[in-house]
Amino acid sequence: MSGLSEPVAAYLATRRALGFQLAGTGQLLEHFAAFAEAAGADTVTIELALQWATLPAGRSRAWQAQRLGAVRGFARWLQATDPQAQVPPAGLLPGRPRRAVPYLYSEADITALIEAAGRLNPSWKAITMQTLIGLLFTTGVRLGEALSLDRGDLDPDSGVLTIRQAKFRKPRQLPQHPSATAALADYAARRSKLCPRPATTAFFVSTTGARLARTTAQETFRRLLRETGIYQRAGGLRPRLHDARHTFAVTTVLGWYRDGVDVQARLPLLSTWLGHADPRHTYWYLSAAPELLALAAERLESRPAAI
């Protein structure tokens, strides 16, 4: 038996514990393990992965890229315990356009960004960006959803934020932590003083009194990334404002694992909160966090053996 058969089985069990079905990927990796056995290999090499991915001859580049992508995910996981394992680089067999790998912000990153936003001029721009960044990281809402909020979408008494301009036209209500509600209400109070006769119903208002524009928010955030040095610490990734959403999802699930709750039972709730039309999109958000895979593996190892 190839030395990769057991690691492949462990990898698939770990990913499935996070809610991934991996029917097709599972079959591909089992076939790869058999191929490695026939070749006498006991770890992943780029050459071995490339040889297997391009079989059978004459298949499309998209087919080859899919096969290599399955090995790449496994190799990345395997490398944590087997330093000899090689991870095939992305783009080696380019196929269909790939989603950008998300950058997961640390607590220190988030603190640095909010503090840097507080130094923006004029002061209203600072307050607006601080509140917007805080909202994105604490709720995981999309940037477009946040900028589409109107003044009546926050109920400070109940602490409920209503997302009306949602993707797929599915409005949802998000109960806020009291501290988040207080921060949003404080911003609303300052905004009312700044614009007592508003020309817009927008919750987030620019320095001109208009609804805050997406381009303004994104350009300002990129400036904050440069000022805090996060671009240089990103390990080759390109941090984006949208990655606040990924960070929220991963942080939420990490908290569930550490609290010992049934993660698979709660994942549909997270999908609903994020406004995903299909839970598969939520599962993809979680695939970029090695710490999640480690916790899932630990949970599997702690289960009593089946009789």
Token reading at 295:
């916790």
Is 31 an active-site residue? no
Cβ atoms of 173 and 276 closer than 8 Å: no
In this prediction, residue 301 carries a pLDDT of: 56
User: Would 269 be classed as within a structural domain?
Assistant: no
In a domain, 16, yes or no: yes
- Is residue 53 assigned to a domain? yes
Residue 158 lies in a domain: no
Q: Contact at 8 Å (CB) between 146 and 163?
A: no
Asked, for residue 24, whether it belongs to a domain, the answer is yes
| 167 assigned to active site | yes
Catalytic residue among 67, 211, 245, 246: 245
- The catalytic position among 31, 76, 125, 242 is 242
Tell me the DSSP string of 83-107: TT---PPTTSS--SPPPPPPP---H
- The CA distance from 66 to 56, in Å, is 13
Active site residue: 67, 72, 191, 276, which one? Answer: 276
Looking at 11, 187, 283, 285, which residue is catalytic? 285
| pLDDT of 306 | 40
CA quadruple 251, 253, 258, 260: dihedral, nearest 10:
160
Residue 3 tokens, joined: 């030395």
State the pLDDT at residue 307.
35
For helices 61-78 and 5-17, give the axis angle rounded to 10 degrees: 90
**By residue range, what is the domain housing residue 56?**
5-78
pLDDT (0 to 100) of residue 60: 82
The answer to whether 177 is a known catalytic residue is no
pLDDT tens-digit profile, the chain (307 residues): 458 999 999 999 988 887 777 878 999 999 999 999 999 999 999 999 999 999 988 888 888 888 999 999 999 999 989 999 999 988 788 755 556 678 889 899 999 999 999 999 999 999 999 999 999 999 999 999 999 999 999 999 999 999 987 766 678 999 999 999 999 999 999 998 887 887 889 999 998 889 999 999 999 999 999 999 998 766 666 899 999 998 998 888 888 888 888 888 888 888 889 888 766 667 766 765 666 666 555 655 555 444 3
Is 90 domain-assigned? no
Indicate which residue of 142, 191, 211, 246 is catalytic. 142
With residues binned 3-state (H G I as helix, E B as strand, rest as coil), the percentages for the chain, rounded to 5, are: 60, 5, 40
First to last CA, the chain: 25
How many domains, the chain?
1
245 annotated active-site: yes
* Active-site residue flag, 281: no
Tell me whether residue 242 is one of the annotated catalytic residues: yes
Domain presence at residue 202:
no
Model pLDDT, residue 202:
94
pLDDT (0 to 100) of residue 170: 78
**R_g of the chain computed on alpha carbons:** 23
Residue 30 resides in a domain: yes
Choosing from 61, 167, 238, 281, which is the catalytic residue?
Answer: 167
